[in-house]
Structure 1
């Protein structure tokens, strides 16, 4: 059975069993009816995914992995902050009338900085170091630019990636300040697992371990019945992952470069309310 599902079940069960409620506090998120969106949460959750062992795609319910890849490339490849460059509508609630989400996500990755070796943005610096300085302990990105936070529609949730080369394996740590377990957990895991596979391939490496570090790991109050239903299900085996081996340039990847085969998942017809 899928290890990603087992980790998901363990994390959700721990939150429901040991988590702390924020109902005694004033919270920013609101439901569509204006009610405060409270959560039960745990601090400092760490989940590890061996990408050589399996592709961490949830089977307890369907994760729309192709949309995950499209959003990943929107941020990391297009370095865009405009929802009109994205096929899905998941960011529409945070966009202004022009489609912009402000100086967030892709905007930050596209800012160029001057180094002794030349001018790089954050993505190009990672690509350069993976090829030329793989032993470096400084290969990382950060979206959390304090100077620009006031011009972001949403502070970045998954805000930092740290890359580490061990032998021929590319490992990575994804740091996340906040995680909505029902709507976004597996979405983020799938995205960054794909990113590690892509960066490894174009750097002559193989994907190793993805470590997901979550500061505030929570379940929203109105999501609890849905999560409890999922915890009663038995996971299916993990699907098979394929990345087009002909692609050697990160900027040549497309959503069609990624294939997932034998993906079985449990039906999930419930509408998930989203707190804004």
Structure 2
């Protein structure tokens, strides 16, 4: 069975059984009807995914790999903060009349900084170091920029990636590992979506830098299940689990900026039914 399913189910059970409730507290999120959106939460949830063993798409329900890849590329490759550059409508409620989400997400990755080697944005800096100084302990991105928070229509949830390269004994290729840091996560709507997005990113960067994929470690400071999601999560984690799908990435692409959503596929991806009409807190 899928290791990602096992990880997800264990995480959800831990939150439901051992988490703390925010009911009655002053909380920012609310439901569309104006009611406060309370959660059951756990602090400091850490999940590890060995990408060399399987691709971490859960089978309990389908994760739309092309759509989540497109969103990741919107941020990391196009470095866009405008929803008109994205087919998905997920970000629409945070966009202004021009489609901008402010100085958030892709905007921050596109800002150029002065380095000893010249002017580069954060993504190009990562690729430069992976190719030229792979054993550096300083290969990371950060989009939680305090001076720009007041100009962001939403604060970044997944805000930092740290890359770390290792070499297995006797292997002629290096292995790319990464840590995804997230300040907050709505487990039902976003957990596997984000895991799959950043697993794809690690696969893409490994390919263009001629490395193997290693571990993706996901660190969530506030891992929560919303009150109206609890029955949905309880039903979801009791579903049958299937073998993990096989991941395909177009082997012809050697330039990160040439990847598209059509360069990824999940093969033999058997899943349970999709959960429809999930209420989303805003």
TM-score, scaled relative to structure 1: 0.99
Give a deviation string over 1:143-176, Cα, whole Å, max 9, x none. 1000000110110000000000001110000000
Structure 2 residue 155 is the aligned partner of structure 1 residue 177? no
Give a deviation string over 1:116-146, Cα, whole Å, max 9, x none. 1011000000000000000100000001000
Structure 2 residue 33 is the aligned partner of structure 1 residue 63? no
The answer to whether the 8 Å contact 2:65/2:264 transfers is no
The answer to whether the 8 Å contact 2:52/2:213 transfers is yes
Structure 1: gaps (5+ residues): none
SS at match of 1:238: coil
Q: How far apart, CA to CA, are the structure 2 residues paired with 1:246 and 1:215? A: 37
The answer to whether the 8 Å contact 2:21/2:38 transfers is yes
Residue 237 of structure 1 deviates from its aligned partner by 0.5
Decide whether aligned partners of structure 1 residues 148 and 232 sit closer, same or farther in structure 2, where only a CA change above 3 A counts: same
2:239 corresponding residue in structure 1: 233
Shift >2 Å, 4+ stretches: none
Match of 1:205 among 207, 211, 230: 211
Match of 1:253 among 259, 271, 276: 259
Give a deviation string over 1:96-135, Cα, whole Å, max 9, x none. 1110000000000000001110110000000000000001
Residue 24 of structure 1 deviates from its aligned partner by 2.7
Structure 2 residue 20 is the aligned partner of structure 1 residue 14? no
2:132 corresponding residue in structure 1: 132
Structure 2: gaps (5+ residues): 168-173
Match of 1:264 among 242, 261, 270: 270
Q: How far apart, CA to CA, are the structure 2 residues paired with 1:11 and 1:160? A: 21
2:166 corresponding residue in structure 1: 166
Residue 269 of structure 1 deviates from its aligned partner by 4.1
Q: How far apart, CA to CA, are the structure 2 residues paired with 1:152 and 1:186? A: 25
TM-score, scaled relative to structure 2: 0.97
The answer to whether the 8 Å contact 2:242/2:271 transfers is yes
The answer to whether the 8 Å contact 2:55/2:245 transfers is yes
Q: How far apart, CA to CA, are the structure 1 residues paired with 2:15 and 2:265? A: 33
Q: How far apart, CA to CA, are the structure 1 residues paired with 2:121 and 2:259? A: 18
Structure 2 residue 249 is the aligned partner of structure 1 residue 243? yes
Residue 260 of structure 1 deviates from its aligned partner by 1.1
Give a deviation string over 1:189-229, Cα, whole Å, max 9, x none. 00000000000000010111000000000000000000000
SS at match of 1:213: strand
Q: How far apart, CA to CA, are the structure 2 residues paired with 1:269 and 1:164? A: 36
User: C-alpha root-mean-square deviation of aligned residues, in Å?
Assistant: 0.7
Q: How far apart, CA to CA, are the structure 2 residues paired with 1:245 and 1:77? A: 18
Residue 231 of structure 1 deviates from its aligned partner by 1.4
Q: How far apart, CA to CA, are the structure 2 residues paired with 1:250 and 1:210? A: 19
Decide whether aligned partners of structure 1 residues 236 and 149 sit closer, same or farther in structure 2, where only a CA change above 3 A counts: same
